[in-house]
Amino acid sequence: MSDCIFCKIAKGEIPSKKVYEDDKVLAFYDIEPAAPVHVLVIPKNHIGSINEINNENSSIVAHIFEVINKIVVELNIADTGYRVVSNCGDQGGQTVGHLHFHLLGGRNLAWPPG
């Protein structure tokens, strides 16, 4: 989508601090980190949120989790633990309308979230 900030990041039109990239997925550091490790993992193709995952596009989600598995090893949080979150919609706290998975780690994370 032309006015989507994460589509622009995926195309390199807005800079990001990349952690991982392939033809389908980009992972980059969140600009307002909520934990010592705070990475966002996005599909390069625009999907608005979890609500838009369907039979045609759902394979990207499996791929994203394989990518997360690599990143946590590289960033040394695989053994200490981490959390993967995708906020959906207003009450879910979603502020960017392009599917993304927050990868949070490097400290003890409280549960339940606010």
- Least gap, CB of 1 to Zn ion (angstroms): 5
- Least gap, CB of 67 to ligand AMP (angstroms): 17
Distance, in Å, from the CA atom of 61 to the CA atom of 10, rounded to the nearest integer, reads: 16
Is 100 an active-site residue? Answer: yes
| 30, 48, 53, 78: which one binds ligand AMP (CB under 6 A) | 30
For the record, the structure tokens of 33 come out as 């980190």
Question: Which sign does the torsion angle of CA 24, 41, 65, 37 carry?
Answer: positive
| Residue 27 and residue 43 in contact, taking contact as beta carbons nearer than 8 Å | no
Site for Zn ion in 35-74 (CB under 5 A): 46
By CB under 6 A, name the binding residues for ligand AMP: 5, 14, 16, 30-32, 40, 87, 93-96
